[in-house]
Structure formats: structure tokens, C-alpha cells
Structure 1
Amino acid sequence: MNKFKYYFILLITTVSLFSCSKDDAPAEITPPRDYAVQYATDLTDIEEYLKTYYITVVNHAGFQDDQDVTFTKIATGGTQPSIYSYLKSPTYPKLLSRPVKLHDITYTLYYLVLREGTGISPTNTDGILTSYKGDYLSRQKVAEVETLTATFFEESKSPQQFFNLTTTITGWGETFPEFKTGTYSSNADGTVSYNDFGAGVMFIPSGLGYYNLGSNSIPAYAPLIFSFKLFEINRLDSDGDGIKNFQEDINGDGYVYDYRNTANYPTTPTTTPDDTDKDGIPNFLDTDDDGDGVSTKTEITNANGVLIPFEAIPACNGNTTDPARIKRHLVKCN
């Protein structure tokens, strides 16, 4: 009797397991859209937004709302200047764009400069302290009329932590190096006042954002709009070789890339300016930048085991300091 009950329970359990497996079969996965096709749609939406909305900017130096920006749709017959009207303006606000090569296509990344900033610029591999407000663009039908709508999804007014630009969406890393920090001071109540910081708005195609994955309340394939203020920079050393990432930007343009990422770079560029030994590893991720078999960290450590600051490493003539050195990076003297 006990044996019969055992086999009966085993049979019921087995049937249940197979039943669950069948009912819970994974849904069919839809392949991502073609990047070039989706980008054409995104660019149309972004440029329509730029041409049909105007901005209002708060100038309130020393206060939290300084350089806050509001977007409003231009009513039929309205005379407000569109965002697009500031394209290449000689004064601020100024709408600019830069080409971003990714996925074997060249994106146009628009960004609006409200204020450039007075301090220093990050590279696309630094940490940044920034406040921001994010919206996404989508097409919505109301009474059979399709309209382009911006939907709010997130805001951070008082940032408490740095964002590593190597782990944010690509659009952030491609925009922030175009801006500079400002100054700041501590207040008696423990708050911080920021002044003269860089402030702007970036208009990001989905291929430089979350693309087919989306994020939380952001739908897939949504172009993004971020207004932001750049407060401070944290210089990072990704490979731990004692030389900061920004010092491994050989051509000094503010951007370094890892072309080993074949998802982003299906075709390797013919020139890789930030890779001294041309081994395919960019200097900011290469622990042996000159490819001589000796780690960079070892080569810049003195007899007492203390790292020599980048700026103090002697040039090859042995008696002067040359921060640029050869191609702005460590190369052994012959």
C-alpha cells in the first residue's frame, strides 16, 4: 500500500512538471531592428521636436534652479524661436551636433549648450557629478491625430554620487566632454552652492540610448532628452596603472574607445590614436601601454616603491619634465 502511494505521487508530480514546462514555454524573441533604419526614424522625431518646441531658461546664479530649462510646444501661429533656430548660434543658447560612429553608422548627436562652464571637461571615461531631468519621445494618437510627445521619466536635482561614463548610456559619454565644470562652495546648512557650471540638453537617438531593451518606464526604441548640469569630475584610472584615463587620451580630444567591442564596432577603424603599442587594447585599459613586457605601473615606480606622478615623469632627454612626453604616453628611452 505504501509503495503504491509512493508511485502514485511520483506519477502525479512528473505529469505536473511536464505540464508546467509546456505552459511556460518562452515567448518568441523578436530580433532587434536594424540600427540604420531605426536611426532614420529617431532622427526624424528629434529634428521635428527641435523645430516645434521652444525653451525657457532660468538664470538664478547660486541657486538650485539656475539653468533649469522648460520645453513648450510652439502653438499654431506662435512666434517663439524654436530650439532648432539656435543651430550654430554665435551666442548662448547654442545648438550643436557631433558625429558619433557606432554600429557601422554615423549618428548625429544634437546637444544644446546653455552654458559651457568655466572649469575642466571630463573624458568619456571619467566620473561625473551631475543633476539631470530625462524625457523620452514617442508618437501618440489622440482623436486619430498622431503627435510627437515628450514623456517625463526621471529627475535628480541634488546628486549624491558620481556616474562612471563608461557604464552609462553612450549618449552621455559622447556629450559631457563638450562641457566644463564650474565652482562650488559649502553653505552653513550643509548644502552646496554651484556656480558657472556647464549646463545643456542632449537629444539622444535610441541607438545611443537603451535601444531595444528600454529601461524601467522607458519603452524600447525611444529617443531620449536629458537636460543636465555638470558640477564636478572624478578622474578615473580604469586599468590601475597609475595614469588617469584622461592622461591616456593621446590625441587629447576627450574621447577614447575600446574597439574590441564588436557589438558597437563591427568594423575596426583603420586608425586607433589612443593605443600606443597598437595591440588592440586602448591605453586606458592596457596595463602595458608600450608593449615591452613590463607593466606601466612598474615603469613609473621609483626606487622607494612610490608611483611617479604622470606630470613628473622625465622626458627622454633626462633633464626636463615633459607632460606630453612621446605621443602623450610612456615610451622607453633608447
Structure 2
Amino acid sequence: MNKFKYYFILLITTVSLFSCSKDDAAEIQPPRDYAEQLATDLTDIEEYLKNYSITVTSHPGFADDQDVTFTKIPTGGTQPSIYSYLNSTTFPKLLSKEVKLHDITYTMYYLVLREGVGEKPSNVDGVLSAYRGDYLSRQKVAEVETLTATFFEESKNPQQFFNLTSTITGWGETFPEFKTGTYSSNADGTVSYNDFGAGIMFLPSGLGYYDSGNASIPAYAPLVFSFKLFAISRIDSDGDGIMNFQEDLNGDGYLYNYSNTINYPTPPADAIRYADDTDKDGIPNFLDTDDDADGVSTKTEITGANGVLIPFADIPSCDGNTTNPARIKRHLVKCN
């Protein structure tokens, strides 16, 4: 009898706990409108650009080369704001670009401290990059609201490449505007980097983490990343033997997967949608194992009789020409 009474009380308690949890659960809010949030983010970003100055460390060959310090310009201060570098003919140079995503056109800013002297990555490559990240938010102290930058993460000596297809959109949109530099190995096993591309990206939340946030980053926070581009890792996402950047048919450095209906609810015009999609099946070549839809995989088509993949530079065009640098690759356009 006592045992029955015990289990009955336990059952009532459990039901009560679940009922309270359900009743007290926070109401889930739908995501904000992308266009409205972009307007808010741009207001914050442009205020930050107009009210902060930067100091850049020039220390070639050392880890602190191109480190950036941000300083709020005091009332009456004469320091040049970041915004004063907009469209400058010399470095630092603040530029803006448009990014079409979520059925709206984002405006994002990026500051070029140094362009770099090596290769540019595409937005579907891997990058080795040192970086520091801050997020922008408005804080109210003594009834006075101020725009504040809060540090959240830093990597001074990166040990791994970031695949730009797996990072936030803003990284993929910014890194192709920069180049790598040179490097040398030191006797102690470390590596020294020189003449690398370095800059700062200022990202609306829609090109960052938007409503989800990330770890210590709140939802809807604009992001500021200072970064250095040390090296590139070329990636072959579909495993067809052709690197992603080599499947960039129009050569603009950007390849997009328009079949992603979250990012692209409304597909763009065909000229844009199929710019890097030979067979127009909605899957861009860098993700398509059969680019020309002939039923034979690209990898099979570029494998020689000896079973070895033919180097990209030696893949013949439809007429068999391997010497014309402007030739159309067989795997990109079906030969009739």
C-alpha cells in the first residue's frame, strides 16, 4: 500500500513538472524580416564606420603584422574615421559590394589594408586565415544608448583551413577580393608570412548568423572581422577530379548553388542561375558529378586509358585542342 502511494505521488509530481515546463516555455518568435533587419544593421555598421578610427601595425615577417586596433573618435577628434577611406585610391581602401540573398540585396563593406601578391581564392575554396571577431550591439548606460563592439573570438596562428562553403556567407563573399602572400619556414619550425592580403569585413547579420546567433554572439548581431589571408586550399566538392575553382565558367571567382531554396527562395534569371551550370539541371558544376548530363560521370570522361586522371590543363576541348588557352573544356560543355 505504501509503495502504491509512493508511485502515485511520483506520477502526480512528474505530470505537474511537465505541465509547468510547457506552460512556462518561452514563446518562439518567428525570424525577423530580412529587409527590415538589413536596414537596422546598416545603420549600426555605418555609425561604427563613421565614429571609429583604426591603427594598423606594420611589422613584416612577424605575427603582429597588419594587426588592427579600433579606437572610438572622441568628440572634436581629428582622427580619420574608417568611413573616410570609402573608395580611396590608396590603401586603406573602404569598398562596398552587393550580395543577393534571401530575396533581397545586401550591402556589405570591407576595408582593404593590403591586397596581397599571390592567388585569390574562390568562394568555394578553403582558406588559412588569422582573424579577430567582434559583434556590434547597442548598450544603454544611464539612459544613454551607445553602439558597442564586443570581442568574441580570435585566431592568431591558424592551424587548419576553413572551407568557405561551410562558413558564414560573409566570409565567402569577402575572401575572393583578396590574395595570399608568400611564406618561409623558420629554424624553430614556425612559418613566417609576408605580403598577404589583409582587411576588415563589416557584415550585416543576414550574412552572418542572423536569428540563430552562435555561442557568445547574440542573434541579429552585425559582425566585424579583421583578417589575414595566408594560404588557399583548392577543394573538389563533388569528387569529379576537377577543382571547384576550375568549374567557374564565367571566371568571376564566385560559384553559387541556386538549388538552395533557403538562400534563394526565388531563383535568379537563367543567365545568372546557369552561369556555372553547364547542363542547366539546377546543380552547379562544382557539385555535379555529370556536368554535361550525358550519363557518363565527369571523372570517367577525364580518366585516361592508363586509369590516371588527365590534368585539367591537358583536358582537350571538343575539337581535341589542348594548346588554345581559351578552349572550352570537354567536361564543361557537351561535345556534339
**CA, structure 1 residues 197+149, in 2 after alignment: closer, same or farther (shift >3 Å)?**
same
Could you say which residue in structure 2 is the equivalent of 1:250?
249
User: Is 1:66 paired with 2:68?
Assistant: no
User: Secondary structure in 2 aligned to 1:96?
Assistant: strand
Could you say which residue in structure 2 is the equivalent of 1:31?
30
Could you say which residue in structure 2 is the equivalent of 1:236?
235
Could you say which residue in structure 2 is the equivalent of 1:148?
147
For residues 324 and 15 of structure 1, the distance between their equivalents in structure 2, rounded to whole angstroms, comes to 77
The 5 A counterparts of 1:165-184 are 165-184=164-183
Could you say which residue in structure 1 is the equivalent of 2:277?
275
For residues 298 and 324 of structure 2, the distance between their equivalents in structure 1, rounded to whole angstroms, comes to 17
User: Secondary structure in 2 aligned to 1:24?
Assistant: helix
Alpha-carbon deviation of 1:6? 5.8
Could you say which residue in structure 2 is the equivalent of 1:186?
185
% identical aligned pairs: 77
The one-letter amino acid of 2:316's match is P
The 5 A counterparts of 1:1-334 are 4=1, 7-25=4-22, 26-271=25-270, 272=273, 273-322=275-324, 324-326=326-328, 329-334=331-336
Alpha-carbon deviation of 1:10? 4.3
Superimposed CA distance per residue, residues 258-283 of structure 1 (whole angstroms, 9 cap, x where no aligned partner): 11111111110113201111000011
**8 Å CA contact 1:250, 1:328 repeated in 2:** no
For residues 311 and 21 of structure 2, the distance between their equivalents in structure 1, rounded to whole angstroms, comes to 59
Alpha-carbon deviation of 1:327? 7.2
**8 Å CA contact 2:53, 2:73 repeated in 1:** yes
Structure 2: give runs of 5+ residues left out of the alignment.
none
**8 Å CA contact 2:316, 2:330 repeated in 1:** no
The one-letter amino acid of 1:92's match is F
Alpha-carbon deviation of 1:13? 4.0
Normalization by structure 1: what TM-score? 0.95
**8 Å CA contact 2:117, 2:181 repeated in 1:** yes
For residues 67 and 150 of structure 1, the distance between their equivalents in structure 2, rounded to whole angstroms, comes to 20
The one-letter amino acid of 1:196's match is D
**8 Å CA contact 1:250, 1:329 repeated in 2:** no
For residues 173 and 259 of structure 1, the distance between their equivalents in structure 2, rounded to whole angstroms, comes to 15
RMSD (Å) for aligned C-alpha atoms: 1.5
Normalization by structure 2: what TM-score? 0.95
Alpha-carbon deviation of 1:14? 3.0
For residues 174 and 328 of structure 1, the distance between their equivalents in structure 2, rounded to whole angstroms, comes to 29
Superimposed CA distance per residue, residues 76-128 of structure 1 (whole angstroms, 9 cap, x where no aligned partner): 11111111111111110000011000111111110000000000011111110
The one-letter amino acid of 2:285's match is N
Superimposed CA distance per residue, residues 144-174 of structure 1 (whole angstroms, 9 cap, x where no aligned partner): 1111111111111000011011111111010
Superimposed CA distance per residue, residues 219-265 of structure 1 (whole angstroms, 9 cap, x where no aligned partner): 11110000000000000000001100001111111111111111111
- Alignment size in residue pairs: 331
**8 Å CA contact 2:318, 2:330 repeated in 1:** no
For residues 99 and 161 of structure 2, the distance between their equivalents in structure 1, rounded to whole angstroms, comes to 24
